[in-house]
């Protein structure tokens, strides 16, 4: 892809992000924090009812890894950012306390103690960052793709987005989460577009290996140059295209 196509791709993703946030709509798409779930709703006492997509349990590994599910702490849907982060931090406290009790390794004990100190400090600061909600209305939320790498974005021959993949377990998260830079832009920053002619050509062996993978899903063309050119070209997606794309 050319640098111009990469800039346009970034702008398009930024547009998608705004649409998923619901900021361009008079009413929020979702309220409360959680992974999307279908619930049957009785509409006008209709016996058959209908299904409504709403935030449910938050399917994040922090809540379900190991014994975390048995801690008895809320797993969603959460009323506010404060409630969500408070539950996560309390899980960390319980997990590290358990590790501290059962481990005999001094390094592991030291790690657990340091994490406990940090978690307690964050829990004390939480009300200053996310004040406890006094309203009965849940916090406004939008859809958030938590793993938007380049291999999740399909484009056509013109470099236009044709599909975005991997929406299973998609969650409704606070709008401040939607302002984060997508994963495909979160990496090394390259201020200038890499100049193809300055890179070494790929070897015959590399060309043969690339030809075998050409039809594989997620294949990236290095344009006959060595791997360093491909890596630097991917960096070119980032850098100033972040600002240009999100402001466009």
Rounded to an integer, what distance in angstroms lies between the CA atom of residue 74 and that of residue 80? 12
Helix (H, G, I), strand (E, B) or coil at 36: strand
* Every domain of the chain and the residues it spans: 3-29+140-247, 33-129
Q: Which two tokens stand for residue 66?
A: 């190991």
For 140, the 3-state DSSP assignment is strand
Q: Which CATH number fits domain 3-29+140-247: 2.60.40, 1.10.510, 1.10.3470, 1.10.3860?
A: 1.10.510
How confident is the model at residue 43, as a pLDDT? 58
Torsions phi, psi of 60, nearest 5?
-115, 145
Instruction: Name which residue leads in pLDDT, 38 or 188.
Output: 38
Strands 171-174 and 34-41 come out as: antiparallel
Would you place residue 50 in the very low, low, confident or very high pLDDT band (cuts 50, 70, 90)?
A: low
CA dihedral angle for residue 136, residue 142, residue 145, residue 150, rounded to 10 degrees: -150
Strands (E), 148-221: 153-155, 161-164, 171-174
Helix (H, G, I), strand (E, B) or coil at 222: coil
What is the chain's alpha carbon radius of gyration, rounded to the nearest angstrom?
23
- Residue 184 CA to residue 154 CA, distance in Å, equals 13
Whether the per-residue pLDDT at 244 is higher than 50: the answer is no
Q: Which of 34, 25, 27, 62 is nearest to 143 (CA)?
A: 34
Q: What distance in Å separates the CA atoms of residue 6 and residue 150, rounded to the nearest whole number?
A: 11
Token pair recorded at residue 30: 């979702």
The answer to whether the Cα torsion of 93, 85, 60, 238 is positive or negative is negative
Q: Which of 37-41, 171-175, 189-193 has the lowest mean pLDDT?
A: 189-193
Task: Give the CA distances from residue 54 to residues 25, 136, 158, in Å, rounded to whole numbers and listed in that order.
Answer: 18, 17, 36
Top mean-pLDDT range of 33-47, 57-71, 187-201: 57-71
Q: 181-206, pLDDT tens digit by residue?
A: 888 887 767 667 778 888 888 888 88
Q: What are phi and psi of 28, to 5 degrees?
A: -70, 150
String of b and e for 1-27 (b: at least 16 CB within 10 Å)? Answer: bebeebbbbbbbbbebbeebbbeeeee
What phi and psi, each to the nearest 5 degrees, are found at residue 35? -80, 140
Between CA 144 and CA 167 the distance in angstroms is 9
């Amino acid at each position: 892809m050319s640098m111009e196509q990469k800039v346009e791709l970034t702008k398009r993703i930024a547009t998608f992000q705004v649409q998923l946030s619901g900021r361009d709509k008079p009413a929020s798409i979702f309220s409360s924090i959680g992974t999307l779930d279908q619930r049957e709703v009785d509409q006008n006492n209709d016996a058959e009812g209908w299904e409504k997509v709403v935030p449910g349990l938050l399917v994040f590994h922090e809540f379900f890894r190991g014994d975390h599910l048995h801690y008895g702490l809320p797993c969603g849907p959460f009323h506010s950012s404060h409630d969500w982060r408070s539950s996560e931090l309390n899980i960390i406290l319980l997990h590290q306390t358990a590790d501290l009790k059962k481990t005999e390794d001094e390094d592991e004990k030291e790690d657990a103690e340091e994490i406990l100190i940090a978690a307690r400090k964050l829990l004390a600061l939480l009300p200053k960052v996310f004040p406890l909600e006094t309203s009965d209305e849940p916090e406004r939320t939008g859809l958030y793709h938590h793993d938007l790498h380049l291999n999740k974005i399909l484009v056509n021959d013109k470099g236009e987005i044709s599909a975005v993949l991997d929406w299973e377990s998609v969650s409704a998260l606070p709008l401040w989460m939607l302002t984060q830079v997508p994963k495909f832009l979160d990496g090394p920053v390259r201020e200038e577009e890499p100049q193809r002619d300055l890179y070494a050509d790929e070897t015959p062996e590399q060309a043969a290996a690339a030809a075998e993978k050409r039809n594989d899903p997620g294949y990236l063309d290095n344009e006959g140059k060595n791997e360093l050119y491909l890596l630097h070209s991917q960096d070119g997606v980032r850098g100033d295209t972040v600002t240009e794309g999100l402001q466009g």
